[in-house]
Amino acid sequence: MRSVYLDHAASTPVHPEVAEEMMRVMTSQYGNASSVHAYGREAKRLVSGSRDKMATLLGCMPDELVFTAGGTESDNLAILGTMEAVGLQGKHVITSAIEHHAVLHTCEELEKRGCEVTFLPVDDEGRVSVEEIANAIKENTVLITIMFGNNEVGTVQDIRTIGELAHSKNIVFHTDAVQALGTEHIVCRDFPVDLWSFSAHKINGPQGIGALVVKRGHVLSPRLFGGLQEKKRRAGTENIAGIVGFAKALELAVQGLDHRRAHYMMLRESFIESLTHEIGDEAFVVNGHPEFYMPHIINISFPGVSTETMLMNLDMEGIAAASGSACTSGSLEISHVLQAMSLSEKLLRSAIRFSFGLGNTRQEMEYTARKIGTILNRLRK
Ligand SMILES: Cc1ncc(COP(=O)(O)O)c(C=O)c1O
């Protein structure tokens, strides 16, 4: 049976060139970057070289880059680190209802610790209104955290305008750009953003390594205590192979960005075209924003067929897709993102996220659309 992987927003395969560099490091380098001997110096050289390379590619200073264990840790460090540095009690944070759980649950934790948090709604295309953010700002607002691009529906926010608004009121602005890296043009210094979260495994890098870009001068309270690594912002021996792999993945992603975008646009368009041909355009609805979206994520509802049933049938055909929801005790939860977009029950309960990657082809899109046609016919019978 053919197998088609359309869940790259969950995780991507490691690029062979990334794996090759990591393998070289893992098999030849075992020093600790904090050691003073030659082995340690070699480890340190690898970390510094990767940091310099990534800083150039991201448009930030090397000392603005903090390596973490992934997007979740970057979000936690950005949010808790910022708020603990100013004292949590009586402070206010603004976020949106469609953030990744790494942000939402961290904000809920802030509430437990005495902060006030406003969770802003979004429109039915998944966009946060800048006006509503402006109206939510109070005297005690310290932080605004709004994601760059949504991991379930792909909608991109107006990060530049939100950042300008935040800075005009002296408010810190954090964006979770985990899904946007590799498909959106990101040059950190060109945006009014103080904190950026990134993760390597969404761009064909290894799992378990991420980064937080912290604008110079911004003070963070650390989440981990121990050694002096990452300028005391993140203690712990560096994940050298992961860091080298992340730097290589970023290099490939940034150099190939226009090609990637064009490839994903082609996949998206041919998928919609093939679906229209196979099942007719009345049998499916594309959720998300029609103009401001990341091309590698498309969320589609097939009214009348539950998300669970479609995912199971796709899996039986060798096609891996996703719902936006986490799987708990065997049943799928309704997506908080689609709920926040106030989609009708029939769209909400039949939504599937397809997310593309480098290896996907037009033929796979046609194949998947054909299989969806077969599944719908089978279920109708
Ligand atoms: C938008 C977004 N933020 C954060 C994360 C968490 O990143 P990680 O898996 O590296 O912890 C993800 C991963 O799915 C994501 O899509």
Please report the pLDDT score of residue 325 as a whole number.
Answer: 55
Q: What are 303's two structure tokens?
A: 């009214």
Rounded Cα distance between 138 and 93, Å, is 9
> What's the gap in Å between 146 CA and the centre of ligand 1?
14
Nearest CA to ligand 1 atom 4: 71
Q: DSSP class of residue 155?
A: B
> What's the gap in Å between 367 CA and the centre of ligand 1?
29
Model pLDDT for residues 281-291, shown as the tens digit of each residue? 999 999 999 99
User: Looking at the whole model, is its pTM more than 0.75?
Assistant: yes
Q: Which domains does the chain have, with CATH numbers?
A: 4-12+257-380 (3.90.1150.10), 16-255 (3.40.640.10)
Backbone angles phi, psi at 141, to 5 degrees: -75, 125
Please report the pLDDT score of residue 182 as a whole number.
Answer: 96
Nearest CA to ligand 1 atom 9: 71
Model pLDDT for residues 137-191, shown as the tens digit of each residue? 999 999 999 999 999 999 999 999 999 999 999 999 999 999 999 999 999 999 9
Q: DSSP class of residue 335?
A: P
Nearest CA to ligand 1 atom 16: 151
Please report the pLDDT score of residue 128 as a whole number.
Answer: 98
Nearest atom, ligand 1, residue 75 CA? 4
Helix, strand and coil content of the chain, in percent to the nearest 5, comes to 45, 15, 40
Please report the pLDDT score of residue 333 as a whole number.
Answer: 80
Nearest atom, ligand 1, residue 150 CA? 1
- Residues of the chain falling short of pLDDT 50: 328-329
Nearest atom, ligand 1, residue 199 CA? 10
The residues, ordered by sequence, that sit 6+ positions from 45 with a Cβ below 8 Å of its Cβ are none
> What's the gap in Å between 159 CA and the centre of ligand 1?
18
CA distances from 37 to 46, 227, 229, 242, 255 (A): 14, 18, 17, 22, 35
Q: Cβ < 6 Å from ligand 1: which residues? A: 70-72, 75, 100, 102, 147, 151, 176, 178-179, 199, 201, 210
CA distances from 352 to 216, 288, 298, 311, 321 (A): 40, 12, 8, 8, 7
Contact criterion met (CB below 8 Å) for 81 and 223: yes
Rounded Cα distance between 234 and 314, Å, is 42
Which of 7, 179, 183 most suits a substitution to test ligand 1, by most atoms within 8 Å of the C-beta? 179
Closest CA to 343 of 155, 207, 205: 155
Closest CA to 73 of 230, 241, 183: 230
Q: Which helix (H) or strand (E) holds 197?
A: strand 195-199
Identity at 7, one-letter amino acid code: D
Rounded Cα distance between 81 and 75, Å, is 9
Contact criterion met (CB below 8 Å) for 166 and 173: yes
Which of 11, 12, 72 most suits a substitution to test ligand 1, by most atoms within 8 Å of the C-beta? 72
Residues annotated catalytic, as ranges? 327
